[in-house]
Amino acid sequence: MQAGQSNGATGAEGAGVPDGAAYDAVRADPRYQFEAEGLNLEPREPSWLQRLLESPAVQTFLEFLGKALEVLFWVGLAAIALAVLWFAGRAGWQAWQARRGEEEAGPAPYRPAAGTVRVLLEDADRLASEGRYAEAVRLLLHRSIADVERQRPGAVRDAMTSREIARLPVLTALAAEAFAGIAGLVERAHFAGRELTRASYDEARETYARLAAREAWS
């Protein structure tokens, strides 16, 4: 019993010891190298592309290209800034020109609305159809004075006579002539006591049509 236990222990201890013959065989195999001596550690020859990129000519060209790209970047940036300033300045100039043109042109010439003129003439025609020619012409004169006040604000003052209004320097020649024609017919009936006829009214009506035209105020 003791002898068997002794043999088992001896076998276990023998299993942990490496086989010396196998170890020696591996060490002796020329396919394996266990020492650093004799290893070929020389660097590999660079490829043609690497040699080309590392050549002085290519290096000089790449350096020049980098500087050129930097210059082009700043030139492009400056061009964009100038373009923005140019468009902004152009828009401002056009807006200023438009405002200046409006100021020089002044307000649009006043012209009585077609409907207003038609109603006025209808009222005057009604008076004329009743034989009330003096009243019809006077109605046209009152409307003419209102047109002058609207077209030339502040020009007509209180207590001004029709002749004074007709001589206002702010009136165009056409407006002054038309106004004076209507005012003359009213003065003829009111001060001279001359009776107005249908022909007198037709003359006043035609004259007022010229006064109400746009050309009379431009």
Specify if 134 maps to a domain: yes
Distance CA 108, CA 217 (A): 10
pLDDT digits (tens, 9 = 90+) for 140-181: 999 888 888 888 888 888 888 888 998 999 999 988 999 999
Specify if 72 maps to a domain: no
pLDDT digits (tens, 9 = 90+) for 110-119: 455 555 567 7
Q: Provide the residue range defining the domain that includes 131.
A: 114-217
Specify if 119 maps to a domain: yes
Specify if 175 maps to a domain: yes
Specify if 182 maps to a domain: yes
pLDDT at 126: 92
* pTM score, whole prediction: 0.46
What total number of domains does the chain contain? 1
CA distances from 5 to 1, 8, 9, 11, 73 (A): 7, 5, 6, 10, 91
Higher pLDDT, 202 or 188: 202
Specify if 178 maps to a domain: yes
35 confidence band (pLDDT: 50, 70, 90): low
Specify if 202 maps to a domain: yes
